[in-house]
Structure 1
Amino acid sequence: MANFYAMLLTIVTIVFGLIWLFDAQVLKPKRQQRIADEEKRLQQELTEEDGQRIAPQSGIAEFAQSVFPILFVILLLRSFVYEPFRIPSASMMPTLLEGDFILVEKFSYSLRDPIWRSELLEIDRPERGEVAVFKFPPDPQYDYIKRVVGLPGDRIIYRNKTLYIQPACDAAGNDCPAPRVIERTLVRSDAIYFNKSTPLEQYDEYLGETKHSTLVDPTLGGSDRFYFKQQGTARDEWIVPEGQYFVMGDNRDNSEDSRFWGFVPEENLVGRAVFIWMSFEMDRSASSWLPQWVPTGIRWERLGGVE
């Protein structure tokens, strides 16, 4: 579904472009010749209005000529510069809330064609702690957004709601540091964010150069029995393969992420989330006469960069 709109925009742009090109290269010279012949017959120069009356441009060609430049610019911006996304779930709370609309920087990692997503130019690779959008590996028609936790070669451990990382080291393992606990500080455990009726604990976590907030449900037991099992590792440990990444949601007990389905290949990366450009409150009561998708307000204080 995520790629459907890119494909539709590309096809529509190409169709209108071909109509405009055919009109400019084939039909327009014929119209000009017809006007020239009429001017020769009348022995006078015709006004633009008279020329349009004698040899009018078709409505579809006129529409294509007007619309194609706009569609072409939108296609370029959406494919290679910035693309808007809507946050549909609570998996990235409190960093991103349901109803946030974000801009994703498409050129952060590479430039890819909008249909087949073949890499045209490699630019950079994700850094630990960045919030990235990617094609969901089990079903690439969907876009997912999570935080990059593990880089290629890293050993990731998530045990008793605590994150450990052993950065990639040489193959011989002579200089490998021990897995280290990712530093975090309890900010609050009162009723700001909930999992249904359960208040969630909010932490400040320090992942690489990035400080961000995470949520933990203190009443929810471990879900490691559902974790993705990588051969040769413990149930709650993973070694990130070359060319792939390990991602997690900031709402740690309410996120379907790499712990459950595995790693994100480089070719699935879409871009880096950089800015919240709109945030709607979506807490309409079931008794409201308005549809549930109609916002109840705007969270102006949330507009700004994504950390």
Structure 2
Amino acid sequence: MDFPLVLVVLTFACGLGWLIDLVVLQKPRKAKLLQARTDMGITNEQAVSDEQQGVLDKVAKEPYLIELSKSFFPVFFVVLVVRSFLIEPFQIPSGSMLPTLKVDDFILVNKYAYGVRLPVVGTKVIPYKDPARGDVMVFKFPKNPKINFIKRVVGVPGDRIRYQNKQLYVNNQLVEAELTQAPSLQNRMGRYTEKLGEVTHQIYKANSAPRVNKTWVVPEGHYFVMGDNRDNSNDSRFWGFVPDELVVGQAFAVWMHWESIFSAPSFGENRWIQ
């Protein structure tokens, strides 16, 4: 289900119902109410009996669909504005961003970090800033835009990216990665501290995993992204660049961890995303 499209359609339908009532239906309804009061001989100052009030309420009652539209339009409108232009929640489905993000972390994404975009179509209407190296970015998967991906921005337009022998180079400069936790029998992933742009963060690398040795030049209007779990991530090394029009926003916080509906949610690991 394309939830943004469904939300837009529901908001439009409810708003249209409200508008139809305001322009077309409300005036005849008020005229019927006035006529009913006249027929019963009720003046503005006159007290109304329970029976008369029941008749008047029936005459003044809005059609069911109009009543629903007026009730739900403000709710749908607020959700649409917040979700489309401000903040949207996501759930992490895989371990490609370990150790930064765990499976079943619930995150918040800043939708206006890279400018304001129209819902559904994603067209940028108010530019702000561009994604920078080190940002954790949510985007629509280029191979299937109905799916959202989350990765770290490694290369911006014009960058020359080289990944060789599990070493990352940006514009021919080695991105230093300091080993902070060696692989063990329990965890065969080595943990490293890496500084990419202005962001210092943690990554995993597995010495035994297959190596990708290749060089890319990031074209204009595109970004090169990689998962922090370097040897367990489906990213730009395998399917190419992320076009700017598919960018959703910048992930900035983990607000909950919830493994399944049969377990209790945890708020003990809430944190800012580095």
**TM-score, normalising length from structure 1?**
0.82
Amino acid paired to 2:95:
A
Deviations 1:217-263 (A, max 9, x none): 122231x3xxxxxxxxxx51111111111100000000000100111
Q: 2:205 is matched with which residue?
A: 216
1:78 to 78, 83, 96: 83
- Of 114-123 and 82-91, more deviation after overlay is shown by 114-123
1:247 and 1:33 mapped to 2: Cα distance?
63
Which residue of structure 2 lines up, in the alignment, with residue 161 of structure 1?
Answer: 166
Shift of 1:189: 2.1
Corresponding residue for residue 242 of structure 2:
264
Matched, 1:103 2:108: yes
- The Cα shift of 1:198 comes to 5.0
Letter in 1 for 2:19: L
> Which residues of 2 match residues 233-248 of structure 1 at below 5 A?
236-248=214-226
Q: CA deviation at 1:208?
A: 1.1
Cα distance in 1 for residues equivalent to 2:142 and 2:116: 19
Letter in 2 for 1:276: V
Q: Which residue of 2 aligns with 1:285?
A: none
Give the CA deviation at 1:17.
Answer: 1.1
Matches within 5 A, 1:5-154: 5-45=3-43, 50-154=55-159
Q: Is the contact between residue 255 and residue 267 of structure 2 (CA under 8 Å) also seen in structure 1? A: no
Contact 2:37 2:56 in 1 (8 A): no
The residue that corresponds to 2:268 in the other structure is 301
Give the drift of 1:39. 2.1
Q: Deviations over 1:171-200 (max 9, x none)?
A: xxxxxxxx1111121111255xx9xx6521
Residue 206 in structure 1 maps to residue 199 in structure 2: no
The gaps in structure 2 that reach 5 residues or longer are none
8 Å Cα contact 2:191/2:203 also seen in 1: yes
Cα distance in structure 2, aligned partners of 1:77 and 1:105: 10
Partner Cα distance (1:198, 1:303) in 2: 24
Give yes or no for contact 2:136–2:251 (8 Å, CA) kept in 1: yes
**1: CA distance between counterparts of 2:77 and 2:144?**
29
Contact 1:198 1:217 in 2 (8 A): no
Deviations 1:94-135 (A, max 9, x none): 111110111111111122211222221111101110000111
Distance 1:28 1:157, change over 3 A: same
Structure 1 residue 155: deviation in Å?
0.8
Question: Match for 2:208: what amino acid?
Answer: T
1:297–1:261 CA distance, 2 compared to 1 (3 A): same
Q: Number of matched residues? A: 267
Return closer, same or farther for 1:184/1:301 CA change in 2, 3 Å cut-off: farther
2:175 pairs with 172, 182, 185, which one? 182
Superposition CA RMSD, Å: 1.8
- Residue identity over aligned pairs, in percent, reads 40
Residue deviations 1:32-74, cap 9 Å, x none?
1111112223332376655322232122211211111010010
d(CA) in 1 for partners of 2:58 and 2:243? 59
Structure 1: any 5+ residue segments left out of the alignment? Answer: 167-178, 225-234, 283-292
Q: How far, CA to CA, are the matches of 2:193 and 2:136 in structure 1? A: 16
Structure 1 residue runs of 4 or more that deviate by more than 6 Å after TM superposition: none
CA distance in 2, matches of 1:221, 1:28: 69
Which residue identity lines up with residue 296 of structure 1 in the other structure? S
Q: Is the 8 A contact 2:36 2:56 kept in 1?
A: no
Within 2, Cα distance between the matches of 1:184 and 1:55? 71
